Structure 1
Amino acid sequence: MRHTVAGGRRVGAIVFLLCCPIAAAVSSEFVSVDRDNIVLARERPELDALGIPAGGFRIYPSLTVGTIYDTNVFDRATGTGDGFLQIGPKITVQSGWSQNFLRFTGDAEIERFARIHSENNERYGVDALARVDVTHNMVVELDALFGRRAETRGSSGDVVAGSRPIIFYDAGGHISLTTTAGAVTAKGRLDLDDYRYNDAQVGNQFFSQRYRDHRATTALVELNFPLTPAISAVTSASFNDSSYTNTLPGLAPLDSNGFTTLAGVRFGVSSVTTGQITAGYLRQSYRAAVFPTIEGVNYDARIVWNPTTLLAVTATANRSIEPSPIANVAGIVADGAGAKADYEVLRNLLVNLRADYLREAYRGSDRRDRRVSAGAGVRYMINRTLQLGVQYDFRDQTSRGAGARPYRGSDVLLQLTVQR
């Protein structure tokens, strides 16, 4: 339930979105990433929100209210606990056309703490996403977004001890083209993001975060071609560039560019076991000679096991290079692994268990972090209008080196969602 960089504490950790399938000839942004998870992908039309008709569109409003108690609000070695209220309004407007698709989304998260009022904050975002069915075998997607976000407590981006939550803004979007030629599927995608950071505030003092302002560009090409009815070969290459607009006096710029390659297999053994396993190479080079080039083995894997129609187990592992939020650190090599289980007790009652591991190596520094987290939750879909959730999460980070930040904490959430 701790918030993520992309948008707030994990308010929706237990409110799994049961995405309605949208017809498309090829793989699309609109297809749920949990499509292989038999529990989450199962259609439950009697429990889905009906929405409000508006011409060729439907409007889906919702409001989520949660009460949370966190034993270590700041994620520091000495924990300070507090409870808070979290309010999350959301509205989605999407087309109901037989061809092409258009969706607008707006959401917000408002947090109000019982005692630690300096943690009170508001986050919001808007997003417009379109799919154009050029032909039966070709789909173009365009997306534009803007968001006011907050750095995660305890993450690498939470860099100023004792500060209020560090606020930043993300404006950007993507364009992608997916096409099939015979049995081969090809995809190209271009992502653009512009990040701007507010100053960190500690009491009446302000610490500039402008050195973190940057523009990030990523281009991806991916190919998928079948080898047998159950196995496909997949390969991808991505290229990225990060351009920083401000540099602190006396410190090296953080500008960088790099690429990643991956190759492997996508498989489906009936509907019981599906997944993708790839490995390759990654490299990130920095404009400043003082920062070493980061390079090495790359990997990404996701396996879903559905032993029964009521149980799904998902395992993931991946490596990435994250941009540094620290002025004298080039980048962060992040290795993550996780597992979760989703079980359908009743058609309208789902439970989940999860465990995650993250290792972060700060290049240009001797800091090393290892974080273990685990959680369990219940989602009760009372009817089309009401959903109730309960979630418990635990986290433990060991840390060494310059700026080390060990901590341990847990939180519990009770959440009610009203939807139309």
Structure 2
Amino acid sequence: MQALPKRRRRYRAAEPALVRCLLGLLAACTASQAAAQGIPAGDAAISVQKRPRPELDPIPLRFGAFEVLPSAELRVSYEDNIYAARTGKVDDALVTLATGFAARSTWARHAVSLDADAALARGLSQDNENTDTYDARAAARLDLGVATSASVRIGYARAYEPRGSVGDTTVRGPRIAYNALETGAQIRHETGRLLVEAEASLDTFRYAPYRVAGAALAQGDRDYRTWSTSLRTGYAVGPGVALFVEGSYNQARYPDEARSLDRSSDGYSVRGGVQFGVTRLVRGRAALGYQDQRYDDPAFPRIKGLDFAASLEWNPTQMVTWTLDARRTIQRSPLAGVAGIRQSRYGAKADYELRRNLILTARLDRTASDYAGTGRVQKDFSGVLGAQWLANRRLRVSAQIGFQATRSDGSSAGGRAGGEAGAIGRRFDRRRVSLSLRYTL
């Protein structure tokens, strides 16, 4: 098999402007520190979505030392391009029934939580959109002293690749299902101005086969497990402002890889930045660093370069919250001939409390996915307008209208037979509307 062509460095031209933008954000955060002296570190902003509303918030059921919130939801949605296809668009309506369960301990020390969700979705005309999903998550925290705590978590989920995502390779075929087992442990120590956190996780993903024209197509080559560990240390340099340094290391393995190319890899990331919450107006986090992912097979190019993560939440009034976020990550590729995807995400969101019980939301997102070793760069632009009506403590009604526009440059090596996602990339537009009613017992 011929070696894949060298990866184009098309993202480098945009890096200087991005660096200047993030450095400007860091400078603004440092400048705001001088004006915020005397403001307690805990006097941070409270966003529109997170603000407590005692007269409208659900009242949990009490079982001894536990609070429980069961819920049920009915959601109806319509999409004009259900398969996220370039041509031959098919529309359909989907009806989803979902249930949820959340339990929390109320102990003064230590904590235990359990969350579970299940949903059944059915397409009115397209059976390929029928899905049954569920997930369960448990977590526990042990307080080892005033300044130290340890926590563990475990979760198991049955989910499907979203239509139009980089993992959706069947296009007009059945949805791709997978099972995920995620485990993790963390230890945290905070004393005076110093904070130290260490975390380790082990996640396993297994993909279910799907059927096309009566034949079962295995997905074992997509199964993988990843182990990662991270260390973060921060130091408070002033009221509500802390500098931090964090690093992480990961290993990804494909236990059932049966192809000649092995996509297993090892990688690390190192970042430094500032975290702030200096006034009721603004809080956020910004970090710059370096990331590097090496693949076991020399046919796959090494992915390395600038790493960044930033979020900013601004509350100019108690009724408005603006949120900006940006992040660069390295994603595993669903295509056999491509090992990794460098993905850059940028988002902007506005929440407006029109009335105490009526919240309006608008969000725009842009994602650029660079398929390493190929000429393919996929760009996604999406937006959502939504409204949430808190009718009372138990009933919440939500409505949304959204769109997605996806364009790909170049072609990728790999992909599944009959799937335009691998052969020529993706190019489509779609719109979606939805209405949901959520009832909490």
**Considering the TM-score relative to the shorter chain, is it more than 0.5?**
yes
C-alpha distance after superposition, 1:198-221 (max 9, x if no partner): 113223122221011111111111
SS of residue paired to 1:40: coil
Matched residue type, 1:77: R
- Distance in 1 (CA, whole Å) between partners of 2:324 and 2:49 is 15
Deviation at 1:412, TM superposition (A): 0.5
Residue of structure 2 in register with 1:94 after alignment: 104
Partner deviation per Cα, 1:163-187 (whole Å, 9 max, x = no partner): 2111100012111111112211111
AA of the residue aligned to 1:397: T
Q: CA deviation at 1:226?
A: 1.6
Task: Map 1:205-244 onto structure 2 (within 5 A).
Answer: 205-244=215-254
Task: Evaluate the alpha carbon distance shift between residue 269 and residue 181 of structure 1 in structure 2; reply closer, same or farther with a 3 A threshold.
Answer: closer
1:415 corresponds to which residue? 436
Match in the other structure for 1:82: 92
Instruction: Give the structure 1 partner of residue 331 of structure 2.
Output: 322
Question: In the alignment, does 2:364 pair up with 1:355?
Answer: yes
The match for 1:276 among 272, 281, 285 is 285
| CA drift at 1:82 | 0.5
Match of 2:67 in 1: 58
Paired residues for 1:2-41 under 5 Å = 36-41=45-50
Q: What residue in structure 1 maps to residue 319 of structure 2?
A: 310
1:362 and 1:36, CA in 2 relative to 1: closer, same or farther beyond 3 A? farther
The one-letter code matched in structure 2 to 1:183 is R
Give the Cα–Cα distance (whole angstroms) in 2 for the partners of residues 37 and 279 of structure 1.
26
CA distance in 2, matches of 1:375, 1:324: 27
Q: Which deviations, in whole Å up to 9, do the C-alpha atoms of 1:23-77 show, x marking residues without a partner?
A: xxxxxxxxxxxx8452122111222221222222122110011100011111111
Letter in 2 for 1:152: P
1:341-420 alignment to 2 at 5 Å? Answer: 341-402=350-411, 403=423, 404-420=425-441
RMSD: 1.3
Return the alpha-carbon distance in structure 2 between the equivalents of residues 92 and 186 of structure 1: 29
Task: Give the number of the structure whose residues are more often helix, by fraction.
Answer: 2
* Worse-superposed segment, 208-217 or 156-165: 156-165
| Aligned twin of 1:9 | none
Give the number of the structure whose alpha-carbon radius of gyration is greater.
2
CA distance in 1, matches of 2:246, 2:45: 21
1:328–1:364 Cα contact (<8 Å) kept: no
Say which SS state the counterpart of residue 118 (structure 1) adopts: helix
CA distance in 1, matches of 2:140, 2:354: 36
How far off is 1:160 after superposition?
2.2
Q: Report the AA paired with residue 428 of structure 2.
A: Y
Q: Please tell me the residue identity of whatever aligns with 1:233.
A: L
Which SS does the other structure have where 1:220 is aligned?
strand
Contact 1:37 1:304 in 2 (8 A): no
Q: Which residue of 1 aligns with 2:203?
A: 193
1:142-181 to structure 2, matched below 5 A, reads 142-181=152-191
* CA distance in structure 2 between the aligned counterparts of 1:169 and 1:360, rounded to whole angstroms: 24
Identity %: 28
1:252 is aligned to 261
C-alpha separation between the residues in 1 aligned to 2:388 and 2:349? 15
Distance (Å, rounded) in 2 between the aligned partners of 1:322 and 1:353: 27
How far did residue 366 of structure 1 move? 1.7
Letter in 2 for 1:228: G
Q: Is the CA contact 1:72–1:410 (under 8 Å) kept in the aligned structure 2?
A: yes
* Separation in structure 2 between the aligned mates of residue 406 and residue 347 of structure 1, nearest angstrom: 41
Q: CA deviation at 1:230?
A: 4.3
Greater percentage in strand: 1
Residues 234-253 of structure 1: CA deviation (Å, up to 9, x unaligned): 1110111001111233x301
Could you tell me whether the CA contact under 8 Å between 1:163 and 1:202 is conserved in 2?
yes
Which deviations, in whole Å up to 9, do the C-alpha atoms of 1:91-123 show, x marking residues without a partner? Answer: 112212122111111101211111001210111
Q: Is the 8 A contact 2:239 2:278 kept in 1?
A: no
Partner Cα distance (1:229, 1:94) in 2: 31
SS at match of 1:160: coil
Distance 2:93 2:213 in 1: 22
Q: Is the 8 Å Cα contact of residues 66 and 104 (structure 2) preserved in structure 1? A: yes
Shift of 1:358: 0.1
For 1:275 and 1:92, the matched residues in 2 are separated by 28
